[in-house]
Structure 1
Amino acid sequence: MQSFIENIPKAELHVHLEGTLEPELSFALAKKNGVDIPFETPEALVAAYDFHDLPSFLSIYYAGMNVLLDEDDFYQLTYAYLSKARSQEVVYAELFFDPQGHTTRGVSFDTVITGIHKAQLDAEEKLGIKSQLILCFLRDMSAESAMAHLEMAEPYLDWLVGVGLDSDERNNPPIKFTEVFAKAKAMGLKLTMHCDVNQLNTLTHIDQCINTIEVDRIDHGVNSLESDALCEMIKDKKLGLTVCPVSNRFVVQSLTSDEIHSMLDKDMLVTINSDDPAYFRAYLNENFLELQKEGDFDQAQITTMVSNAFKVSWLDEATKNSYLAQVDDFVAQH
């Protein structure tokens, strides 16, 4: 099973580039840019990753961004993730980035997206991993700030596939961003939003995602299982759910394997992802391996979740089918 998981061609749809900043790269960029890090070694930095809920995680996550200042920093960040992902047989990834986390520090939107885009091009050419970029808005900032950043993105529309919504969900419902997401949709971008595990008013937020914002996908979305009506809507609309087992464990002390079994039993399009792998110390393979151990998933179930990721990806149908054929060929040989 370990060999099967490690070698099957995979897609990742829920990974935050800023959450792939490994301690070693963080120290190297800090030294280059003259940024002070209050730790002696990368190991000491990892030891300080003491988070137990979303706010405690975010405080460490945003502090980590301070070492990212110039275009090459964002290039290195992105290329390092894509290289690591390709080593785990990830052949396609959709990457989140948080421009507001950088522009508020005085780093220009152009600097951020250009560094990321150049790394995407090089990784596809040199490593054979295709990727697309999703601009995420920080929901604990204003809708006006989100709209301003969507307008900043207009010259780079060809470099983006969609928009998302992340950060602290408390008192920041999807409808706060209705106009922003309507404009993004009119610009031809796909839509997704985080509905994190066990958040306040989570069922209302999931409902707003589906019926008001009309998202194309939901990030996390585990709590939808508490409502038969929501589950039916998600199924009827063929909405993918990008579940992140290891990051869930920091919030609910479980990889949510029981919930993932329930999603599979209901034929919901559940996918497995790494979220912030440098902070949770688990990339995509580790998420699958840990999940399989906790939930005793069989080969057919693993294959279904891998295939789901390609099915609900924001690729054209021909490219999706090409990747799905690779999965089928791999499974046939095993």
Structure 2
Amino acid sequence: MPSLIDFVRGLPKAELHLHLEGSLEPEQMFAMSERNRIKLPYSSVDEIRNAYNFNNLQEFLDIYYAGMSVLQQEEDFYDLTMAYLKRCKADNVRHVEVFFDPQGHTERGIPFSVVINGINRALEDGKKHLNISYKLIMSFLRHLSEADAFETLKQATPYLELIHGVGLDSSELGHPPSKFVNVFKAAGDMGLLRVAHAGEEGPPSYVEEALDLLDIDRLDHGNRALESDSLVTRLANNQIALTVCPLSNLKLCVVNDMSDHPIQTMLEKGLLATVNSDDPSYFGGYINDNYVALIESVDLTREQAIQLAKNSFSGSFLSPQEKSKYLDEIDAYITQNTH
């Protein structure tokens, strides 16, 4: 039988919490800056990599938005997305539900069409050539106003057939979900699914707002929901998926040490927890790296790893038939690797 790490590397899995802009590797950032003649405050790839050492969410966001400046042409968004999908293929990720932040580009004068057409073309090529299915989620930046979010929703209207849902990301503290009630209702009325980052840095009340006011279909992060027994019961009873990001939690000091990570507690409490990479180029690893970190730090068991992989499909926005197909793939893989 293969080692647990080798077993998990080959396990079919989905990724439900990935910011495409957060998969921009230093080498790619540097190459795009030269291609587009964008001057960065770094003279080498090593300088960029060193800048990725930050201490909290805001410091990360500062370099995250600076890095976006190199994304200028449709080809840049295509290359960014395709590079991520190739890493997914290597990690045996079979399905992705990815975020993009249009406001981070349109406010720089990049047309919405340039962003979405580049991303969508890569996702379609990934589906065709890499056999990776996908959903695309448009996130609103919560440090901006709801009026800005409405403007983004308006810009997205001609492309709704390419967008499956809306999300809420960026600086959480001071920007509660209640700030975006109206735009989330409008998005829901347009047939879009709804997710939101809550309970990462923000308190459990932000999770409650996301559930009660935004009527979310899935919860991004959600770590601090564990501080409320009633909230845990509610999430477990309703099987609201949590898109947990272990290496991100460590890098942003949501946990002090990976050995403190609550993923096993989530599973024990019946939560539909999943493992994801968030912003992998900034946080030190893609999806298999997150699984390996848990195996090495919290003694994640084979059964728990299998449950997390199954949860990633159960918590996805795939149809019941598509979920069943992928869950059968996991069962077949387990059978092949049991003896």
The TM-score with structure 2 as length reference comes to: 0.96
Q: 1:258: Cα distance to partner?
A: 4.3
Residue of structure 1 equivalent to 2:200? 197
Residue of structure 1 equivalent to 2:6? 3
1:235 aligns with 2:260: no
Structure 2, unaligned runs of 5 or more:
none
Q: 1:198: Cα distance to partner?
A: 3.5
Deviations 1:10-58 (A, max 9, x none): 1000000000001111111111100012223212211111211111110
Change (3 A) 1:276 1:196: farther
* One-letter amino acid of the counterpart of residue 72, structure 2: L
Distance in 1 separating the partners of 2:241 and 2:64: 26
Residue of structure 2 equivalent to 1:211? 212
* One-letter amino acid of the counterpart of residue 208, structure 2: D
Contact residue 138 and residue 167 of structure 2 kept, 8 A:
yes
Change (3 A) 1:180 1:244: same
Q: 1:233: Cα distance to partner?
A: 1.2
Contact residue 15 and residue 275 of structure 1 kept, 8 A:
yes
1:285 aligns with 2:284: no
Match of 1:30 among 30, 33, 37: 33
Partner of 2:99, secondary structure, is strand
Contact residue 69 and residue 107 of structure 1 kept, 8 A:
yes
Residue of structure 1 equivalent to 2:44? 41
Q: 1:216: Cα distance to partner?
A: 0.5
Partner of 1:225, secondary structure, is helix
Contact residue 259 and residue 297 of structure 2 kept, 8 A:
no
Contact residue 20 and residue 100 of structure 2 kept, 8 A:
yes
1:77 aligns with 2:80: yes
Supply the RMSD in Å over aligned alpha carbons. Answer: 1.1
Match of 1:170 among 168, 173, 178: 173
Contact residue 14 and residue 96 of structure 2 kept, 8 A:
yes
Residue of structure 2 equivalent to 1:330? 333
Residue of structure 2 equivalent to 1:130? 133
Change (3 A) 1:185 1:256: farther
Q: 1:191: Cα distance to partner?
A: 0.6
Distance in 2 separating the partners of 1:277 and 1:219: 16
1:222 aligns with 2:197: no
Contact residue 248 and residue 256 of structure 1 kept, 8 A:
no
Aligned length: 332
Contact residue 199 and residue 206 of structure 2 kept, 8 A:
no
1:297 aligns with 2:300: yes
Change (3 A) 1:257 1:327: farther
Match of 1:148 among 151, 161, 175: 151
The TM-score with structure 1 as length reference comes to: 0.97
Contact residue 272 and residue 305 of structure 1 kept, 8 A:
yes
Contact residue 271 and residue 306 of structure 1 kept, 8 A:
yes
Partner of 2:46, secondary structure, is helix
